[in-house]
């Protein structure tokens, strides 16, 4: 299924001192993360796509952290320097 992704960047901070990879869903785990929230909807009907895998991208790379959309197609992911997402 092809999908379109709508993303809203809701927060960004700087100054992380974490030594281990932070939780992909918790921006408080590392304040230098950029939090992306959005919804995955079907390209034709605009119907939410549940259980889609969402991976953050940015600065020419794909980050290793992924999240899965909920029943309404919504997702929240936190990674450094991300400005886009990719649906798999």
**pLDDT confidence of 16, banded at 50, 70, 90?**
very low
**Mean pLDDT within 62-66:** 80
Closest CA to 7 of 69, 59, 51: 69
User: At residue 60, does pLDDT exceed 60?
Assistant: yes
**Mean pLDDT within 27-55:** 78
pLDDT, residue 71, reads 93
85: helix, strand or coil: strand
CATH class for the region spanning 3-87: mainly beta
pLDDT, residue 79, reads 76
Q: Where are the domains of the chain?
A: 3-87
- The answer to whether the beta carbons of residues 54 and 68 sit under 8 Å apart is yes
CA atoms of 3 and 29, how far apart (whole Å): 30
**pLDDT confidence of 7, banded at 50, 70, 90?**
low
User: At residue 32, does pLDDT exceed 70?
Assistant: no
pTM strictly above 0.85: no
pLDDT, residue 80, reads 72
């Amino acid at each position: 299924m092809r999908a379109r992704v709508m993303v809203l960047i809701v927060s960004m901070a700087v100054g992380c001192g974490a030594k281990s990879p932070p939780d992909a869903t918790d921006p408080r785990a590392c304040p230098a993360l950029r939090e992306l929230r959005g919804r995955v909807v079907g390209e034709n009907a605009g119907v939410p796509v549940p259980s889609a895998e969402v991976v953050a991208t940015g600065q020419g790379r794909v980050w290793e952290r992924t999240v899965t959309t909920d029943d309404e197609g919504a997702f929240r992911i936190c990674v450094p320097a991300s400005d886009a997402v990719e649906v798999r």
